A and B are shown apart, each in its own frame.
Chain A
Amino acid sequence: MSADPIYLLQLTLNGVTLGLLYALIAVGLALIFGVLEIINFAHGELLMVGAYAMAFALPAFGLLYWPALVVAVLASAIAGWVLYELFLSKLKLGELERSILITLALSIIILHVVQLLFTASPRIVDTQFGFEGVEIGAIRITWTRVIGAGSAAVAFALLFLVLKFTQFGRAMRAIAQNREAALMVGIRPKTVARNAVVLATALCGLAGAALAPVHLVQPGMGQFLIFKAFALVIIGGLGNIPGAIAAAILLGLVESWVGGFFQIVWQEAAVFVLMMGVLFLRPDGLFKRGAMRVG
């Protein structure tokens, strides 16, 4: 357990890349929570749908990464749209319990349907990049990780611009901040809610696609992620998007360091230890809560 600086830097880079992917999931949850005031427990399964879409699209495109990524993002976004139209749009404001039961049930159903169709055996996903990577001195990161982290960073930049500078995005912040005022200026809550769900699930699909070549693809891959992402949303200050991103990167780092220096079992517990610690010290999370702040 020597604190070799190269090893530490390698763990740190791994942590940041992992954290950015967690952030994609957490931001989607925060977005849906902000606009619909519900927690989407099926979010992890939408990520899994994205990962499976990536796994099937890659061979179809001759292992080309980018077209397969587009397919995966679209697959999750369409699944999200169907989820909204069939289920979430039927919820009334304040029906939190119903939303939990419905999305939790859907999550379990989707998981088992995928298991039925494609079996539970994990898939290894190969891309045009294989295991090639960048090497800087003694540090090595695979291209798939670099691209995954880079796409996530670009997605956050775009999301920021959309939320800050377009009426489409501002309407989401508007609903999260004051529903009555949104009605006053003529915003249709259902339209904005649908947009938010599709946007959030597209981010989720991106996370799934980016994770597919890095991790194993299996039906249960989204299930543990949702609880982590939920913890991150709370740590980040419920409804605070930069807060969720910061918390996610922090978690990626902590997990990577813990995994690198301690027994691997501690890695999975890290997020919940972190969450309990934060909630005891700062009950509202690390950052200012709510109102879908973007900056």
Chain B
Amino acid sequence: MSDLVLELVGLTAGYGDNPIVHDFSARLYRGSITTLIGGNGAGKSTLLRAIYGTNRWFSGQVVFRGEALEKLEPVARLKRGIGFVPQGRCNFPTMTVAENLKMGCYTLPGQKHAAAIERVVALFPVLRSKWRIEAGNMSGGEQQVLEMAMVLMLEPSLLLLDEPSLGLSPKMQADVFATVKQIASIGVTVLVVEQNVRGALMISDQAWVMEQGRKFMEGPAKEVRTDPRIRQAYLGGNIKHHAA
């Protein structure tokens, strides 16, 4: 299938001598949003890092648009079209929004910077209004938008987001989810790890559930959302509501 963007084949990865993610196989298709669900320490972030290449690969394959990437360094993967926004604040806090976006162009040739900046600012007009503000002085939601913009400048075909709504107010969480939806609508494939499982599932096409470093289940987001085991474990366990 030509729409296949990413295929993981028996991927095992972790840190130092400790594999955390074991034998993980899954596929992502163009323009889809996939939520990665799992408890603390289930290996969600480790899996994202393994796809981007910032941790240790043990075995298996990361096939991105037909090319095996598992032995390439992160910058090489970025250049091929994988963008990764790590967990927590991931910008340059004492640089202005303009400077942060300029850093987003780091791997682009100079003559492409202006167009790339123009493109993401058109996508996220809030950035224009904060142009000369230091990133660290913006609200959490604005910073998250900036971070996604920095990665989107390179027009990735796959965007990995680790906890984009962490620490944000419910209103801002909704904004971030809307932004993710918007990103997918322009053809970017999104894989997102979210603590707000309910919110993430609402915008997702499919979900992967991880437990102890392995894939526990996968399926369309709707099915996963209504699966009693998932409701129990990750959606607040409101069994009464489910029964009613």
- Say yes or no: B106 contacts A186, CB within 8 Å: yes
Is the C-beta of A178 less than 8 angstroms from some C-beta in chain B? Answer: yes
- Say yes or no: A171 contacts B106, CB within 8 Å: yes
Given the known interface contacts A177-B93, A177-B95, A184-B86, the answer about A167 and B102 at a Cβ–Cβ threshold of 8 Å is yes
- Selected from A173, A185, A293, the residue in CB contact (under 8 A) with B150 is A185
* Residues 164 to 187 of chain A near chain B (Cβ within 8 Å): 167, 170-171, 173-174, 177-178, 180-181, 183-187
With the chains together, A178 CA to B150 CA distance in Å? Answer: 14
Chain A positions within 8 Å of B, measured between CB atoms, are: 167, 170-171, 173-174, 177-178, 180-181, 183-188, 291, 293
Q: Nearest B residue to A180 by beta-carbon distance? A: B86
Interface size class of B (residues with CB under 8 A): 20 to 34
Candidate in A170, A171, A174, A186 with the most chain B CB atoms within 10 angstroms: A186
Distance in angstroms from A277 CB to nearest chain B CB is 27
- Say yes or no: B90 contacts A170, CB within 8 Å: no
* Residues 50 to 78 of chain B near chain A (Cβ within 8 Å): 54, 73-75, 78
Chain B 79-100 interface mask (CB, 8 Å, partner A; 1/0): 1000111101111111100010
Is the C-beta of B5 less than 8 angstroms from some C-beta in chain A? Answer: no
Return chain B residues, CB-CB under 8 Å to A170: 95, 99, 102-103
Shortest Cβ-Cβ A-B pairs, 7 listed: A186-B107, A181-B90, A177-B92, A186-B78, A180-B86, A185-B106, A291-B94
- Say yes or no: B99 contacts A185, CB within 8 Å: no
Q: Nearest B residue to A178 by beta-carbon distance? A: B92
Chain B positions within 8 Å of A, measured between CB atoms, are: 54, 73-75, 78-79, 83-86, 88-95, 99, 102-107, 147, 150-151, 154
Candidate in A171, A177, A293 with the most chain B CB atoms within 10 angstroms: A177
Return chain B residues, CB-CB under 8 Å to A181: 86, 90-92, 103, 147, 150
- Say yes or no: B86 contacts A185, CB within 8 Å: no
- Selected from B95, B105, B106, B151, the residue in CB contact (under 8 A) with A173 is B95
- Say yes or no: B91 contacts A178, CB within 8 Å: yes
Q: Nearest A residue to B113 by beta-carbon distance? A: A167
Return chain A residues, CB-CB under 8 Å to B74: 183, 186
Return chain A residues, CB-CB under 8 Å to B106: 167, 171, 185-187
Distance in angstroms from A268 CB to nearest chain B CB is 35
Q: Nearest A residue to B78 by beta-carbon distance? A: A186
Candidate in B103, B107, B154 with the most chain A CB atoms within 10 angstroms: B103
- Say yes or no: B79 contacts A186, CB within 8 Å: yes
- Say yes or no: B93 contacts A185, CB within 8 Å: no
- Say yes or no: B92 contacts A173, CB within 8 Å: yes
- Say yes or no: B103 contacts A174, CB within 8 Å: yes
Return chain B residues, CB-CB under 8 Å to A184: 83-86, 90, 147, 150-151
Given the known interface contacts A170-B103, A171-B106, A174-B103, the answer about A186 and B75 at a Cβ–Cβ threshold of 8 Å is yes
